[in-house]
Amino acid sequence: MKNSTVSVTQTSKKLFIIAWILGLIFYFIDYVTRSAPSLMLTDLATNYSISEESLVSLVGSYYYTYAICALVAGVCLDKFGAKNSMFAGCFILGIGCIIFVVSSQFVGEVGRLLQGAGSAFAFPGCVYLASKGFSKKFLATAIGFTQCVGMLGGAAGQFLVSPLLDSIMDYKTFWVVSGVLCIIPAFAMLLMIPKPSSEETLGNEKASYIEPFKVIFKNKDSWLTGLISGLLFAPTTVFAMTWAVKFFKMDLGYEAHEAAITASMAALGWVVGCPLMGMLSDKLGLRKPVIILGCLGMILSLLQLVYLPDLFNAKLTFFLFGIFSGVAMIPYSVIKEANPDNVKGSSTGVQNFITFGVTSLSAPFFASMYGNDLTSVTDKLGHYHSAIWFWIVGIIIAIVFTMLLKETGEKANKAN
């Protein structure tokens, strides 16, 4: 009987690892669809019969439902497990992609909102599956690899999708194919992920919906970690993945493909930066110094773009910027370390909620200040420099918030 139990446990772990791999496909497509609209603004605006400025607001609505459903995702995973939660998230993203091609502004808005709602389940769901499939010894590596795959999707959403749109498919085909590629792993995960054990089911039924959030939101460090992450995510998700292509083309005179390649290097830098900065933080046993180091690296990279543009190629600068901005993931560790063990699952949802709440607010603010006058501004270079300074100021604010944050690294815990 004992051997049978061990065998079932080992089988379950393997199934969770396979499901985690399927979840990585979900997370990859999440980031592809998050960044791809920047390559087809004109086509989408024509499809919905709206201005490009209005379209940017429509595309940015993704972050509204993403932020709200980040909380829902955490609750669903804690209460119902990964089987139904991951199916629902992946399936909703797929439907959101498919209906995004309908020539109606209302339907397009609904599609983008569904994309944000479904995508909110991807990262916390992958973390949940990894925690079930991997031992603690390899869990951090699995989570780091998860984020790498996501950022690879962000990069692919620009430098791979661009040539595809130029030669193989139109933008409508892209969205339909993306939707189908989401729905397939959704059903695969529904079949693959083991059902919760009777003990887990009983524990989930007894778990409170509200109490974990009371604990987390009462902790000032929870708010600080979310604000820091949001301020460090926004330059990549809002500028590099949404606006940079347009700025490079309109303000700097780049060709479309060159602009897409350059913008994608920030996401590619994240692929290296997320695990690298996490490893550095673990090695030092400290969180705050590494966050500040990353912030300073981001600022220096942006300043070089403004004042010494010929010092390095813009692709290299954006790649380095992406590496340093990988510190935006460290607050995800801090919020878990700053809160009790019994709310660690929900803390990821809270972190995503605050982080992408900041992103969803900064997107229209940036658009109104710098994005909407791209076609009419006369001082192109000055306009570009002012836009870069918008993000520098945000990163400086993140440094201030980091100073106020309680250190939660291993060395700080040993000292206490």
Structural domains of the chain ordered from first start: 12-207 (1.20.1250.20), 210-406 (1.20.1250.20)
CB 361 within 8 A of CB 238: no
Mean pLDDT of 86-113: 94
Mean pLDDT of 376-400: 91
Over residues 21-76, the pLDDT tens digits come to 999 999 999 988 887 887 788 888 888 988 877 887 888 888 889 878 888 887 78
pLDDT band at 297 (very low <50, low <70, confident <90, very high): very high
Predicted model pTM: 0.75
Over residues 159-175, the pLDDT tens digits come to 778 788 888 888 899 99
- Is pLDDT of 100 > 80? yes
Mean pLDDT of 302-314: 90
- Is pLDDT of 7 > 60? no
Mean pLDDT score of the chain: 84
Q: What percent of the chain has pLDDT over 70?
A: 90
Q: Measuring CA to CA, which residue among 284, 296, 38 is closest to residue 157?
A: 38
- Is pLDDT of 361 > 70? yes
Over residues 64-77, the pLDDT tens digits come to 898 788 888 877 88
- Give the span between the Cα atoms of 9 and 78, in whole angstroms: 20
The alpha-helical segments, DSSP class H, found in 100-121 are 105-119
Q: What percent of the chain has pLDDT over 90?
A: 30
Residue with the bigger pLDDT between 155 and 311: it is 311
Q: Which two tokens stand for residue 414?
A: 């040993």
Q: Measuring CA to CA, which residue among 335, 349, 197, 322 is closest to residue 266?
A: 322
- Give the span between the Cα atoms of 164 and 266, in whole angstroms: 20
- Is pLDDT of 206 > 70? no
- Is pLDDT of 222 > 50? yes
- Give the span between the Cα atoms of 121 and 189, in whole angstroms: 13
CB 67 within 8 A of CB 356: yes
pLDDT band at 393 (very low <50, low <70, confident <90, very high): very high
- DSSP labels for 160-198? THHHHHHHT--HHHHHHHHHHHHHHHHHHHHHHSPPPPH
- Give the span between the Cα atoms of 92 and 111, in whole angstroms: 9
What does the pLDDT read at residue 4?
38
Enumerate residues 6+ apart whose C-beta is below 8 A from 192.
Answer: 15, 18, 19, 22
- Give the span between the Cα atoms of 349 and 212, in whole angstroms: 11
Over residues 269-281, the pLDDT tens digits come to 888 888 788 878 8
- Is pLDDT of 3 > 50? no
CB 259 within 8 A of CB 158: no
Enumerate residues 6+ apart whose C-beta is below 8 A from 365.
Answer: none
Least confident of 109-113, 237-241, 388-392: 237-241
pLDDT band at 341 (very low <50, low <70, confident <90, very high): low
Integer distance in angstroms from the first to the last C-alpha of the chain?
A: 45
- Is pLDDT of 386 > 80? yes
